[in-house]
């Protein structure tokens, strides 16, 4: 486990359970299956004080995503950059950070005597590993900050992430600060999609199609009622033209989003 004392608050973990693909009742369905590995603690008896504790440490599982990728390629563990070569100054800073100090696994426990440079290297590795474990390779910065004590993250986590644009992308879409692992995406698409992500995406598409069809039918029924009551006179041709215009606007927005993500994530500017 990545936490310092091998414990995690259930209340805090619930904030990220969807990102990690946990089911709603994971405490009842998953944890009891591995009673020799995990246990649930509640010292005060309050629901807010419930914690999950790791009982058995398996060193074979304590391998980060960076270390696994390095082992596959036969290189030393190091972060990868997903920005185009035109970002010269940013790439220079990244190379200095990447090669100036050795990579530190987030699973290393004895990190009390690290200097400032090594602490930042470990913090970046910790966030990188946390995002690698999520389904969509991204997470809310606010929710990650809840684990500041457990994972040894800095107080101003957003400043740390903004200092490393080659590794992370910080988004403020819908006024929610989210950090995205750049190497997890190619354009706007996930590089490796978990089976659960594929199912959720397909379900979302079906929901959107069903909602659109439902709105069309409801609009047609309401217009027919108004016609019968003589309240409005609707030209069918004009309705079809407006619907085609709406569909054209939606398609234009989809193309704009694709171009945005292509420029943001693709290696070639």
* pLDDT band per the 50, 70, 90 thresholds, residue 225: confident
Beta-carbon contacts of residue 268 (< 8 Å; ≥ 6 apart): 84
Instruction: Write down the pLDDT at residue 119.
Output: 84
Q: pLDDT tens digits for 70-82?
A: 888 888 888 988 7
SS3 state at 140: strand
Concatenating the DSSP letter of every residue in 37-84 gives TEEEE-SSS-GGG-EEEE-S--GGG---HHHHHHHHHT--------S-
Instruction: Write down the pLDDT at residue 140.
Output: 92
Q: 176, 138 in Cβ contact below 8 A?
A: no
* pLDDT band per the 50, 70, 90 thresholds, residue 240: low
Beta-carbon contacts of residue 50 (< 8 Å; ≥ 6 apart): 9, 10, 11, 40, 41, 42
Q: Is the pTM of this model over 0.85?
A: no
Instruction: Write down the pLDDT at residue 129.
Output: 93
Q: pLDDT tens digits for 112-140?
A: 556 666 888 889 999 999 999 999 999 99
**Total Cβ atoms within 10 A of residue 202:** 10
Q: What is the mean pLDDT of residues 148-152?
A: 88
Instruction: Write down the pLDDT at residue 261.
Output: 58
* Residue 106: pLDDT over 50: yes
DSSP E strand boundaries for 148-257: 168-171, 178-181, 185-186, 189-190
b/e burial code for range 12-21 (CB count within 10 A of at least 16 → b):
ebebbeebeb
Instruction: Write down the pLDDT at residue 267.
Output: 45
Q: What is the mean pLDDT of residues 152-158?
A: 88
């Amino acid at each position: 486990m990545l936490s310092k004392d091998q414990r995690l608050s259930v209340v805090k973990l619930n904030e990220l359970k969807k990102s990690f693909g946990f089911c709603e009742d994971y405490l009842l369905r998953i944890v009891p299956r591995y009673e020799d590995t995990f246990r649930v603690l509640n010292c005060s008896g309050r629901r807010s004080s419930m914690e999950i504790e790791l009982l058995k440490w398996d060193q074979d599982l304590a391998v980060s995503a960076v270390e696994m990728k390095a082992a596959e390629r036969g290189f030393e563990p190091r972060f990868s950059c997903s920005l185009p070569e035109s970002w010269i100054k940013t790439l220079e800073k990244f190379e200095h950070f990447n090669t100036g100090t050795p990579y530190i696994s987030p699973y290393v426990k004895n990190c009390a005597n690290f200097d400032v440079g090594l602490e930042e290297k470990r913090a970046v590795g910790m966030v990188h590993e946390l995002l690698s474990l999520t389904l969509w390779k991204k997470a809310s910065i606010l929710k990650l900050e809840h684990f500041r004590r457990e994972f040894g993250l800095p107080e101003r986590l957003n400043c740390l992430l903004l200092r490393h644009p080659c590794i992370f992308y910080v988004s403020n879409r819908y006024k929610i600060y989210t950090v995205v692992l750049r190497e997890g995406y190619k354009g706007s698409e996930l590089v490796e999609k978990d089976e659960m992500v594929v199912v959720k995406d397909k379900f979302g598409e079906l929901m959107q199609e069903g909602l659109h069809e439902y709105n069309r039918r409801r609009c047609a029924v309401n217009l027919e009622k108004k016609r019968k009551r003589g309240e409005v006179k609707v030209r069918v041709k004009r309705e079809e033209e407006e619907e085609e215009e709406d569909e054209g606007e939606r398609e234009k927005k989809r193309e704009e989003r694709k171009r945005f993500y292509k420029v943001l994530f693709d290696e070639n500017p």
